[in-house]
Chain A
Amino acid sequence: MTDDVEPPHPAEQVAPTHGVSQAAGVDLELQGEVEPVVRAQWQLFLRRFVHHKMAVLSIVVLVLLFVVCFGARWIAPFPKNHQDLLLGPVRPGRKHWFGTDELGRDQLSELLFAGQITLKIGVAVALISTLVGTALGALAGYFGRWADQLLMRLTDLFLVVPAIAILAIAIKKFGNHDSTIIFVLAALGWMYIARIVRAQVLSIKEKEFVDAARASGASNARIIVRHILPNTIGPIVVNATLGIAAAVVTESTLSFLGFGVQPPTTSWGRMLADAEGTVGTDKAYLIYFPGLFLLITILAVNYIGDGLRDAFDPQAKR
């Protein structure tokens, strides 16, 4: 589905894959000419990304989801946690598209508000773990020696114990406020991206353009930020995207197991946990929609990650 090997576009054959590094190397002398090269890269990237139809569709879906969830205050048919005890559970219908639960809460409205928490945690965790992971991975890869050893042994240690177990104990200890959950998920999430960035930096720091930069007097910080990291942007962005999906899955899993957000805060996983008891009853419609929203979100994020990977690295075959 995603492995279409398109004949390379003529312009692509001219532009080398590592054009960004060239741009970074060029800026030693030709400051003025950097801009056009970078823009051409960006355009090529965009053209390849647009080829991935599912990825483009996924962006539309995801943007829509964000808009309806974070605009829920204006869009949702009922206010947050609006109970109607006399109404009770109602099957999905014209007035309540997704039905209502035992407390008479409109499920569509609840889903939109719960989506705020799920999406917020997903994006925040991916952002924080990418920033931390990139910084630590780059430092370990660039300076090597004990910093590298420390990073590798530390991540080895955490690979040995099921992550979900550590997370559940940690949330039990630190509490289940949503900012705490973000912190705990990010505290474990950065390791994966750190290992990827480290591996990239290890190979890139041996390239000639790094030697050239060093010879012309660039500081370590400048070499890392201006010359090495721009070349690892592909894997970083792809993994940051996939990190959103991973964080959404982990948060909803924890919520489903009872260690995630607590009422009155809800997330999609939490709604599923609350509805678990309706399996086998006539209120089973309560489990359909939170899971469907989760599936759509994760699917969309994964497709975007896939499209980004294809766009960043057209030669990669999988």
Chain B
Amino acid sequence: MLTYVGRRILFSIPVLVIASFLLFGFVRATFDPTARLRSSRDPQTIQRARDELGLDKPLVIQYRDWATDFVRGDWGKSSRTNERVTAMIRRSLWATIQLIVWGVLISAIIAIAVGVYSAVRQYSIGDYLLTGASFAGLSMPPFWFGLIAIQFLAIYPRGWFNLAHPWFYFVGLHSTGSHSIGDYIRHLVLPVMTLTVQIVASWSRYERAAMLDALSADYVRTAKAKGLPPHKVIFRHAFRNALVPLVTVIALDAGALFGGLLITEKIFSVPGMGSLFLNSLLTGDAPVLVAWTVVTASFIIAFNLLADVLYGVLDPRIRYS
């Protein structure tokens, strides 16, 4: 197992190098880092900046210089705020991780509950309602859901019940100066809910299918035949095995979320990785964009690996060589 993990990590290095090189070239071809100097009439200012950034060297050399600095931990400075890129990414990651942890946790619990119920009560009215709801969730444009949630859960209730403060806030992760748990939760509810709707639908369908598979397996029939009470059959025998595929899917999706929260973060003004990407893209902030893509790519690779490892740990029949 350890050699397998080690080899996978080794293999992911060339993928990261190639991906970051392509993105580096792509970003360089798209954005001119000296664009904001163009207003200064003096052509020497621009030339000096170009020399300083090494823009006239061949792309491969530029990439090599950038990559050497990057590996050493010098990720450069944002061309928008002049702040260190490492600091910006660390701060954004923290905000995004909070959303991801709560979103994944709550989605997983709901998805497992819905999936198990739907499978155990297959073709019942509850099953039809839940599978229908998850189909609607799959088709829901997440940005629309976010806006509607703000309107109907934060703004309208305030008018209906004459509240001094809305139930839920929809800007940022906490009010300025407030660090109370209640304030934090009231900020988290709507973005986490928007995130949950995006992912819980596919996870619950997955869990339902896995549970149906498990319930029709031979060992479940054996367990029933030897007279175990139904709840023991369902939770001791079927449920545990139905969890294995879902865990790997959760790990895969969670990795993708590190870059994919653009919509939720934009609607709820959360200063996370998605917002960082959007702001950098709109201002052509090349150093941040390249670092951002490398960081999100690393997370995706790491979580893919985690999914594979988890699969092996949870299901001993799987052997990696």
A residues with a Cβ closer than 8 A to B are 1-4, 156-157, 159-162, 164-165, 168-170, 172-173, 245, 249, 252-253, 256-259, 269, 272, 276, 279-280, 284, 287-288, 290-291, 294-295, 298-299, 302-303, 306, 317-318
Contact = CB atoms under 8 A, between A and B. Distances in A.
Interface in B95-150: 122-123, 128, 131-132, 135-136, 138-145, 147-148, 150
B122 to A, nearest CB: 8
Interface stretch (B45-53, B60-68, B255-263): B255-263
B266 interface: yes
26 contacts: A157-B22, A159-B300, A161-B296, A161-B300, A162-B256, A162-B259, A162-B300, A165-B259, A169-B26, A170-B26, A173-B29, A249-B141, A252-B143, A253-B143, A256-B263, A257-B278, A269-B141, A279-B150, A279-B155, A287-B147, A287-B151, A290-B144, A295-B139, A299-B139, A302-B139, A318-B209
B27 interface: yes
A284 B296 CA distance: 35
B71 interface: no
A69 B18 CA distance: 44
B289 interface: yes
B30 A173 contact: yes
Interface string B63-84: 0000000000000000000000
A232 B228 CA distance: 44
Contacts of B278: 168, 257
A161 B262 contact: no
B19 interface: yes
Contacts of A157: 15, 18-19, 22
Nearest to B298: A160
Interface residues of B, number: 52
Nearest to B150: A279
Contacts of A272: 141, 143-144, 147
A121 to B, nearest CB: 14
A257 B263 contact: yes
B301 interface: yes
Nearest to B258: A162
Interface in B214-269: 256, 259-260, 262-263, 266-267
Contacts of B128: 1
Most buried by B among A2, A252, A256, A306: A256
B296 A162 contact: yes
Contacts of B15: 156-157, 160
A299 B135 contact: yes
Contact of A298 (B18, B29, B30, B139): B139
Contact of B296 (A165, A287, A290): A165
A173 B23 CA distance: 13
B144 A291 contact: yes
Given A1-B128, A172-B30, A258-B282, A279 B139 contact: no
A11 to B, nearest CB: 25
B94 to A, nearest CB: 19
Contacts of B22: 157
B209 A2 contact: no
B141 A287 contact: no
B147 A279 contact: yes
Interface in B1-56: 15-16, 18-19, 22-23, 26-27, 29-30
Contacts of A276: 147, 267
B286 to A, nearest CB: 11
Contact of B263 (A253, A259, A317): A253
A232 B135 CA distance: 25
B143 A256 contact: yes
A278 to B, nearest CB: 9
B294 to A, nearest CB: 9
A287 B144 contact: yes
B151 A317 contact: no
A299 B29 CA distance: 39
B20 to A, nearest CB: 9
Contact of B144 (A159, A258, A295): A295
Contact of B293 (A161, A252, A306): A161
Given A287-B148, A318-B209, A295 B19 contact: no
